Amino acid sequence: MNKKTSFLLLLILITTMMYVYPLDSTKKTWQSPKFIDTSIAYHDPILITSNLDFQNLAISEGWTGSGVFSDPYVITGYQFDNTTTHAISISDTSVYFLLSDCIINGSGTWTGIFLNQVSNGRILNVEIYNRSSGILLSNCENVMIQLCDIHSNTAQGIEMKSSCSNVTIRESDIEHNGDNGILSIDTDTLSIEDNDIVNSTSDAVRLSSSSSINIARNEITYSGLDGVNLTSCEAINIDNCVIESNDGVGIAFRSSSDGLVFRNLIGMNSDYGVSLSSNSVNNSITWNSFVQNTGTSQCYDAGANNEFMFNFYSDWIAPDANDDDIIDFPYAIDGAAENQDPYPRASIDADPTMPSMGLNPLLLGAFGAGIVIVIIILIIKRKK
């Protein structure tokens, strides 16, 4: 490897590091779920137990579609109010289907939509209320829940358990549910985007033993406990959310690692804005705004190797003698880790120049590592 090639590799490394934290703070807007015409036809509970069962029922019911990606089965325009079983139960299927424009209410002891060992389903523009859990997924993959109104259920708004994967929940209202707004146990690759998750009796979002999580552009407010509760989770991204007025912690990491909390507004929670328990490691809390959260500090860290940087804290707004939009003294973080934010922003809108010649310390570290790599390569070349 010649010097020119070594320098090119180093340049690629530095350029890549500069794009780790995209500065997109715009919250998406969406069409609110509509209340479907209550004059639509009532339907008996739907029970499907196999691909063949789905095909036969589609024929007898007159549902469109053939169950493939480009032509899914479509179940649409029904109202359910039964009190003795799940309104819709689908299990052991891999065909593609769309469930849309339905109203489901009834008994608080039965789930609205129950999917078990199901792949390739989409639930669109469905209102579910007065059930146990609104939607329950068990051992499912490739499921999307979109533009739904899930409210006033006695347990969870949406529940995932038993090794679900590739689940997306987006553009939905999840409100006034009797336990958690969203509950996930053992889910891999979960995306929660552009939702309003409001007035959950327990946590708004409670995730356990889950990984590859993206929580973006949500409004998470007025829950009875934490806004986001992460227990034994890893590979977590939380960005551009409003997380406020919850009766517990805004975002609670409990034995969770490799998380990025970026560009969120976290305010007026009854406990810390962000809390990192022991065994929570390698998490980055950066470019957030913490406003009037409770605690000696607005954040807590009892873990290891966690980073706080470039956050705004409403209780730490002076002095800034050189007007560089960075408070002149670090912000102390509560907890046994004795952590601090070395570059607290002077205001919510402040966009300060990176210190140390405008470079993020992470970038400087990458630069140093790149130099070491180049030196090692040159030494090896000389020995040859």
What are the boundaries of each domain within the chain? 41-202
Total residues belonging to the chain: 384
Instruction: Please say whether the beta carbons of 345 and 328 come within 8 A.
Output: no
Residues of the chain with pLDDT under 50: 1-33, 357-364, 366-367, 374
The per-residue pLDDT for range 234-273, each reduced to its tens digit, is 999 999 999 999 999 999 999 999 999 999 999 999 999 9
| DSSP label of 62 | T
The per-residue pLDDT for range 278-320, each reduced to its tens digit, is 999 999 999 999 999 998 999 999 999 999 999 999 999 999 9
| DSSP label of 280 | -
Task: State the amino acid at position 207 in one-letter form.
Answer: L
What tokens were used for 234?
Answer: 């890893």
Considering the domain 41-202, what is its CATH architecture? 3 Solenoid (2.160)
The pLDDT assigned to 234 comes to 98
Instruction: Please say whether the beta carbons of 303 and 276 come within 8 A.
Output: yes
Place of tokens 């052991």: 92
Mean pLDDT score across all residues of the chain: 88
Which pTM does this prediction carry? 0.84
Q: What's the sign of the alpha-carbon dihedral 308, 309, 311, 315? A: positive
What tokens were used for 311?
Answer: 């956050």
Place of tokens 């579609």: 65
